[in-house]
Structure 1
Amino acid sequence: MKSERQWDIKVSHYAQNTINPIRQVLENLNASPNPNKKLIPLSIGDPTVFGNLEPNNVIIEAMVESIQSNKFNGYLPSNGIESARKAIAEYSSTNNVQVDPKDVIITSGCSHALEMAINVLAEPGKNILLPRPGFPLYQTLCGGLGIGMKYYNLDAEKNWEIDLDHLEAQIDPSTVAIVYNNPSNPCGSVYSASHIRSFLEICEKHKVPVIADEIYEHLVFPGHKFTPIASLTQEVPILSCRGTTKRFMVPGYRCGWIIIHDKQERFGNPIRKGLNNLTHRIVGANSIVQGALPKILKEIPDEYFQDCISLIHANAKICYSITKRIPGLTPIMPTGAMYIMVGIDTSYFPELSSDLHFVERLMSEESIFVLPGKMFGVNGYIRIVLTVPSELLIEACNRLENFCLRNVILPSNQQQNGQPPTTPAKPLPLPLNLRESVKVD
């Protein structure tokens, strides 16, 4: 008997609404590199792209030992093996926070940790507060599930601190969590302990738990300090999401973790059980990396981390120094992470209608690829990645300067006040003592 059913295959709501804003913009980018100039990509936060930030030898040795031991070839407990969870607990403990291995869940990268944290706390009809500017993946993870998204502003005039009044105004009875990111992507900001305490006071007042994206932990510049949010509260329950991607320079290893901080047991058994249930979706994270974690987290010398930070900090000073002198651009000096946000005053560039248009033209004319602020929820900015070799960053910044000076038209009041002419400055050379010579005022 012939079936009357017709072919009618539909995409699922989950797939249709799982949208990565970065990929969405990139796929519709109306620009190609200038064929006469080498492309310099300053867009994606992968510190391994140029090969100047390599993993420490301890990581390589640990991975080889893990493989050769033949102990980690099979399925492991879905929440992670005891030795790896114990190593993470010891690595993450401080004088103010003692982490128990039972409070650690190993995930397939920090992105997976964030996904699990969101999934366990939210569902359709509820909402989560997200930072703006913020990492676009937060939207991706919420959108597919039909979770409501509300945004709280970060204040550029205060080095991207949280606008606490705006944050509090966004909380409503359906708010089930606040996503908090420190150090920040895309802003490169690092919050002071006093600012974090003020944030936590609001969370405690309104009884809202925190999903803390702390993947850039300890990746802060001299004179600043990373303060784990869990070290400053006894009351607010926190799911801290971290991993090896950024500090250890191995994003491809896909190793992350959630640390459950719940001193008053407000999450209770249902949240813990829910998180463990969610680990069954992938039947556990990479076993070889878990086998290597104890050695990786204990034996890498501090000098390695300091060298990585010194390179990124030097690049931040270079980029800030050059972009600060360009008419129409206002850089905000970062204090950590791997990025700098540069403001664009479009009144200086009347032919460039938006930050996206600016990025497209920059790509077409100078083969420099940066990301527009639009991708992170704000207009009038570009984000520049700082993990490239210094000589390439200088070349990129000089090309950016030349591009701006070709396209700038100074406002009439500045022309009358004798502002400098719009001719390209002499490219900044790369002196041997570059990192000491570039000053930030």
Structure 2
Amino acid sequence: MTGRKRPVDKEQRPINRSLRDVRYEIRGVLAHRAQELQRQGYEITELNIGNPGLFGYRTPETMRLAMIENLGQSEPYCHQKGIFPAREAVVMQQQNRGVLDVTADDVFIGNGVSELIELCLRALLNNGDEVLVPSPDYPLWSASVTLNQARPVYYDCRPENGFQPDPEQVEALLTPRTRAIVLINPNNPTGAVYDRDRLAAIARIAERRGLVVFSDEIYDQMLYGEAPFTPMATLVRDTLCVTLSGLSKIYRACGYRIGWAVFSGKRTDAHDYLQAVELLASLRLCANVPGQWAVQTALGGVQSIQQLTAPGGRLYESRQAIIDGAGQSEFLEVRAPAGAMYAFLRVDTQRLPGFDDQAFALELLEKQHVLIAPGSSFNVPYRDHFRVTTLPTPDEFARVFERIEKVLSAMAARARPRSVGASPG
């Protein structure tokens, strides 16, 4: 006998139970398979994640310089809420938008919006609580609700309604356990920009029931055409509103991991909750300090995103290439995204009966080396959509749509019934 212990069966090593119901397929099985193919030497066109740096977009130089010039002040921990210049810059942005009741004390800087979502929900939720979440949603919201022992309850933003929320359905879903409502505007994955009247109606519902409103506005300036963006905090007065945004998308600085949460509206009944948020912020000490020095420069400088989203700009033209590609397809349709950096395409199931988004995504990856996100990844009850990011160039999209059409045509050919008397082969 060597004295070695016998290996423990995997069933005796349970993971945290709450993780069993957590899904984040954007970086899941398909992404892992894409990595395997890359290791075998294949070039994969990655359309599954909105990662501007991957497609040659650069963070504005002034932001990089601001970070470099302040590296000497970035070595100690900072305040748990973030450095004052960054928080004050966020306040100025909010005030310029008409949110006048905030100070630097109401702003928390985090390691991206992702960390702040988890932190804000952990401070709020107890076992069995419910949070209203849009369907489709950015799946981190559903995952974070679940991880905190609560239950996401979905309100539909249906394709036939332009992916807009229905305030009447939102109100009908409320129960005594409902604690909060989440809005993602401009929306990921659909690119919808919610109209002001619907947002105002949802604000009144939240106020009547004392719900916390979480407004994920990370794409707030990424708008096309005449799409009007309404900050939710300008509409919420008589309950707590939490606005979340950051540097990742508008400023093409995903790797800096800088986001912020701004607390506005009625705070008289939220003292304990805000203290809990600060406690959690303190436990993680502070957010990445070097990246925080870029915030003041970003928010106070030229908003270069407008050059990218205007006609002739790269994001605008890539969006148009998607619209054109879907229009020329035998199988696809798309509602033109009004904002964000995604398109949510639908496959015509009349032409492709039995279509399954997961099976399609896998076949597209294996045969054409294009990685997309199946629509069902975004907590919808249908399986005929998929999401692509609008970040590649128009020329790249022309090649992508050729590959998509090949796979869909092959699937359609396999689905056609054989003629009577045909040889079985």
**TM-score, reference length from structure 1:** 0.84
Question: How far apart are the structure 2 equivalents of 1:25 and 1:374?
Answer: 14
Q: Please give the alpha-carbon distance, in whole angstroms, between the structure 2 residues aligned to 1:192 and 1:94.
A: 20
Structure 2 matches for 1:188-199, cutoff 5 A?
A: 188-199=191-202
Residue 226, structure 1, aligned to residue 229, structure 2: yes
CA apart distance, 1:164: 2.3
Q: Is the 8 A contact 1:328 1:408 kept in 2?
A: no
- Answering whether residue 72 of structure 2 is matched by residue 65 of structure 1, we say no
1:138-177 Cα offsets, whole Å, 9 max, x none, are 1221222211111110021222100223222211100000
Give the Cα separation in 1 of the matches to 2:14 and 2:41: 45
Q: Distance in 1 between matches of 2:136 and 2:74?
A: 40
Q: Which amino acid aligns with 2:349?
A: T
Match of 2:54 in 1: 49
**Mapping of 1:17-28 within 5 angstroms?**
18-26=22-30
* Structure 1 residue 362 corresponds to structure 2 residue 364: yes
Correspondent of 2:44 among 39, 49, 53: 39
Cα distance in 2 for residues equivalent to 1:289 and 1:17 = 33
Q: Which residue of structure 1 aligns with residue 336 of structure 2?
A: 333
| CA distance in 2 between partners of 1:132 and 1:26 (Å) | 22
- Secondary structure of the structure 1 residue equivalent to 2:262: strand
Aligned-residue offset at 1:10: 4.5
CA offset at residue 206 of structure 1? 2.8
Q: How far off its partner does 1:266 sit?
A: 4.4
Q: Matched residues in 2 for 1:95 and 1:27: separation?
A: 38
Q: Is the 8 A contact 1:63 1:292 kept in 2?
A: yes
Q: Write the distance in 2 (CA, Å) between the matches of 1:80 and 1:37.
A: 42
Q: Are 1:274 and 2:276 matched, yes or no?
A: yes
Deviates more, 1:18-27 or 1:309-318: 18-27
**1:12 CA displacement:** 3.3
- Aligned partners of 1:48 and 1:387: how far apart in 2? 9
Correspondence for 2:399: 395
CA shift for structure 1 position 346:
2.9
- Determine if the alignment matches structure 1 residue 285 to structure 2 residue 287: yes
Contact preservation (8 Å) 1:107, 1:257: yes
Between the two proteins, the alignment pairs up a number of residues equal to 400
Please list, as runs of the form range in 1=range in 2, the aligned pairs for 1:424-435 lying within 5 A after superposition: none
User: Does the 8 A contact of 1:242 with 1:258 survive in 2?
Assistant: yes
Which of 203, 216, 229 aligns to 1:200? It is 203
Is the 1:204–1:235 contact (alpha carbons within 8 Å) kept by the matching residues of 2? yes
Which moves more between the two structures, 369-378 or 201-210? 201-210
How far residue 58 of structure 1 moved from its aligned partner, in angstroms, is 0.6
> Which deviates more from structure 2 when the two are superposed, residues 361-370 or residues 268-277?
361-370
User: Aligned partners of 1:147 and 1:31: how far apart in 2?
Assistant: 33
**Alpha-carbon distance, 1:246 to partner:** 0.5
Identical positions, percent: 24
Indicate the SS of the match to 1:248: coil
Structure 2 Cα separation of the partners of residues 50 and 267 of structure 1: 45
Q: Is the 8 A contact 2:24 2:377 kept in 1?
A: no
Partners in 1 of 2:328 and 2:336 — Cα distance? 13
Q: How does 1:341-352 map to 2 (within 5 A)?
A: 341-350=344-353
Task: Tell me, yes or no, if structure 1 residue 169 matches structure 2 residue 172.
Answer: yes
Give distance in 2, aligned partners of 1:286 and 1:145.
24
Find the aligned partners of 1:324 and 1:360 in 2 and give their Cα distance: 23
Following the alignment from structure 1 to structure 2, what is the Cα–Cα distance between the partners of residues 198 and 36?
52
User: Which 5+ residue runs of structure 2 have no aligned equivalent?
Assistant: 1-6, 417-425
Say whether the 8 Å CA contact 2:352–2:415 is kept in structure 1. Answer: no
Structure 1 Cα separation of the partners of residues 41 and 257 of structure 2: 37
Q: Distance in 1 between matches of 2:350 and 2:213?
A: 39
Q: CA deviation at 1:100?
A: 1.3
CA gap 1:193/1:334 in 2 versus in 1, 3 angstroms = same
Give secondary structure in 2 for the equivalent of 1:226.
coil
Question: Alpha carbons of 1:316 and 1:248: their partners in 2 closer, same or farther (altered >3 Å)?
Answer: same
Secondary structure of 2:55's partner? coil
User: For residues 215-241 of structure 1, what are the alpha-carbon distances to aligned partners after superposition, in whole Å with 9 as ceiling and x for unaligned?
Assistant: 111111121122100112322321111
What residue number does 1:431 align with?
none
Q: Does the residue aligned with 1:215 lie in a helix, a strand or coil?
A: coil
Q: Which amino acid counterpart does residue 91 of structure 1 have in structure 2?
A: Q
Q: CA deviation at 1:409?
A: 5.8
